[in-house]
Structure 1
């Protein structure tokens, strides 16, 4: 799989308890990214955070929260990210989606500069 040097990073912030068709939303989003042939996806679990309702979610031992922040990061060509975001819109309830332009220096085992066209 190829990824352009000038790409887009999508970050999707959801709650650990958010669901889509009975499965965790973060899992459904990663599976949709794979189905659509995106370059890859990573899910990060946050130990603490708050969102639009300002309710604090934390993993502290004395105050366990079952709805910790989950961040899904995906880097790929802008067109593929746009198609992915359109495809997941029906799955999303609340959450935050951000995009930023990135320069990909390495994808796989070789720096992009050493890859064949």
Structure 2
């Protein structure tokens, strides 16, 4: 699979307790991205954060979690990301979704140096 050098970064910020059809929302998003043949997805767990409600979510020494913030990042070409957005919209009831233009310097394994273009 190839990823265009000029691509988009889709960033999705949700809570660990968010669900989609009984399954964790982050899991449903990643599996759907894979099913739609996007280049890849990564879920990052935050130690502390707040969102629209201003309710603080954080790890505590005596608790395993308190609906911790999650960030899902997906990078692919503009066409594939834009095709994924309507599906994502049906899965989410809250959260934050952002898009950024990015330059892909490496995807997968290869030899040589990584060089940015001016």
Normalized against structure 1, the TM-score is what?
0.91
Root-mean-square deviation (CA, aligned residues, Å) is 1.9
Counterpart Cα distance in 1 of 2:74 and 2:36? 12
Change (3 A) 1:49 1:111: farther
Change (3 A) 1:111 1:38: farther
Change (3 A) 1:54 1:63: farther
Counterpart Cα distance in 1 of 2:53 and 2:30? 25
Give a deviation string over 1:25-80, Cα, whole Å, max 9, x none: 00000000000000000000000000011000001214664310010000000111
Aligned to 1:101: 101
Work out whether 1:82 is the aligned partner of 2:82: yes
Q: Report how many residues are paired.
A: 114
Aligned to 1:12: 12
Change (3 A) 1:111 1:32: farther
Q: Determine helix, strand or coil for the equivalent of 2:72.
A: strand
Give, in angstroms, the shift of residue 112 of structure 1: 9.6
